Amino acid sequence: FFPALRYDFVQNPYLYYGLYIPVLMVIPAYILMWKHRTLWTFAAAWYVVAIIFLMAGYKISMVDKQLYYIVPLLMLSWAMIADRLWNRGPMGRIIVSTTILFTLWSALQLWIIRIDRAPLVLP
């Protein structure tokens, strides 16, 4: 989530709430998975199904269930990249730590935006 890009106000389905950037993070992880053919095939099939339903979700109301389906694959991909960076030394650890802190900050910002926009309903 980059506040300068204003995902929270622009109704662009490919960038809404920063989804585009994590989905692209899968590409370097697939390169790392190439040595493990079974894992690569499993992840590729998972990702293709997720992308198909992600695209279908723009036309059919699926209440973002397809996003919950893709999150474990995104986390597995990030873990592979983060592990490789972490083992490269102090600079890699700084990159991983900064990314984790940035993700935490982004999540807090989006949470505040959702609370701010939610209507107050009193009985």
Residue 30 pLDDT > 70: yes
Q: Is the residue at 123 inside a domain?
A: no
Q: Would residue 122 count as lying in a domain?
A: no
Structure tokens at 60: 């059919």
Higher pLDDT, 110 or 10: 110
Q: Give the torsion through C-alpha atoms of 112, 12, 21, 111, to 10 deg.
A: 10
Chain segment 38-75, per-residue pLDDT in tens: 988 988 898 888 878 877 777 777 666 767 777 888 88
For the cut 80, the answer to whether the pLDDT of residue 88 exceeds it is yes
Q: What is the mean pLDDT of residues 77-92?
A: 92
Q: Domain count of the chain?
A: 1
For residue 25, pLDDT over 90 is answered with: no
The domain of 111 spans: 3-117
In a domain, 18, yes or no: yes
Residue 121 reports pLDDT greater than 60: yes
Q: With respect to residue 56, please indicate whether it lies within any of the assigned structural domains.
A: yes
pTM given for the model: 0.65
* Model pLDDT, residue 2: 54
3-class SS string, 44-108: HHHHHHHHHHHHHCCCCCCCCHHHHHHHHHHHHHHHHHHHHHHCCCHHHHHHHHHHHHHHHHHHH
In a domain, 32, yes or no: yes
Which pLDDT does position 52 carry in this prediction?
85
The answer to whether position 28 is within a domain reads: yes
